[in-house]
Amino acid sequence: MDQNTVEDGKQMSIIAYITLIGTLIAFFTNQEKRNAFTSFHIRQALGLWLLFMAMGYVVGIFDNWNITYSWWIFFSVLFIYGIIGAINGKANKVPLLGDVFQKIFKSIGQ
């Protein structure tokens, strides 16, 4: 990706990580212009949000504060990592899960 692509897509890339609604806003906004940098971060954010919600049900079953805190810290670190990458204009995949998200959501942004 060239620098112009990164600069044009930086704002929507950051918005994608804010909430699931932000991810949807970034997705629909990106449909017109098809920015590769934004598409990359939309795939990462969508994967994080969907996994966050799905695992929330599993974590809720345990009813244990230690597990809940660990889960929140784990996802907070992943979201912060993604936001910092978007702010810095880098297409860094989220640790542990980034490759999976890119493969599952490869149709987004093409």
The pTM of the full predicted model, rounded to 2 decimals, is 0.89
Per-residue tokens: 66: 């230690």
pLDDT digits (tens, 9 = 90+) for 87-97: 999 999 999 88
Taking the C-alpha atoms of residue 93 and residue 96, their distance in angstroms, rounded to an integer, is: 9
CA angle 47, 23, 28 (to 5 degrees): 120
Residue spans per domain, the chain: 3-104
Q: Closest Cα partner for 85 from 37, 47, 26, 53?
A: 37
Return phi, psi of residue 31, to 5°: -65, -30
Helix axes 20-33, 3-18, angle to 10 degrees: 150
Q: Predicted confidence band at 110 (pLDDT cuts at 50, 70, 90)?
A: low
